[in-house]
Amino acid sequence: MHGLGTAINIITVLIGTTFGLLLRSKLNEAYQSIILQGIGLLTIVIGMQMALKTENILVLLASVVLGGLLGQYIRIDYRLERLAGSFKKKYARDGDTYFSEGFITASIIFCVGPMTILGSLNDGLYGNYDLLALKSVLDGFTSIALAASFGIGVIFSIVTIIVVQGGITFAALFIEQALSNMMVTEMTAVGGVLIVGIGIVILNIKKINVANFLPAIILAPMITALYQYVQSII
């Protein structure tokens, strides 16, 4: 059944977030902080593993820089903050200062990566949701830790999961045939760079508007195609 993988993912995140919120009420600030630091460190490691898969550093650089410029022009981070703010007004408690951070961080962690892209493609093309099922389990455990640290904002990342994974699944017939292995590799590498950025933000090393770099994932296959074309005529 097409789309079942995304449905499973939504359920595991809902369950994981619920457990995380229950856990949060029993943890003092020091324990919440150490969980957050652990998430930040592991996020950087995962991002580095993905980023180092690049086959051409110039393609990766061009994708990230141009994607960041485009995202800054569109003001993606600002728009996501506004979306998170609208959710916060309706559903968050007073004093919940981590709502926006939880929403944006969870959205990027859950929706940027090779398992999201490849899993959604397989689900849309063949009705094979094995990869998304595995991702769902991982996201479920991750959402426990995120919700324990960031709170209720994490649960609204399911909106992003529906839009991103559902969108890729729906568009799978059109985009899978156009993507070469190198394109998928560079999309994965760009996603890794963004996840490293999320880790840096979680650890409070530097404030980075990671969401503004999201267009880099879309630009990566285009720049890869241009690179391959230039290589073919040289």
Average pLDDT, the chain: 85
pLDDT of residue 88: 67
Query: What pLDDT, on a 0 to 100 scale, did the predictor assign at position 10?
Result: 93
Contact 5, 161 (CB under 8 A): no
**Mean pLDDT of all residues in 177-203:** 85
Task: Tell me the pLDDT tens digit for each residue of 22-43.
Answer: 988 787 778 778 877 888 888 8
Task: Give domain limits for the chain.
Answer: 4-233
DSSP H stretches of helix in 25-129: 29-51, 57-74, 76-91, 99-111, 114-126
Calpha distance 8→55 (Å, rounded): 33
What are the tens digits of pLDDT across the range 60-115? 999 999 999 999 999 988 887 787 777 767 666 655 667 888 888 888 888 876 67
pLDDT of the residue at 59: 96
> Is the pLDDT assigned to residue 219 strictly greater than 90?
yes
What mean pLDDT do residues 147-170 have?
Answer: 89
Higher pLDDT, 14 or 95: 14
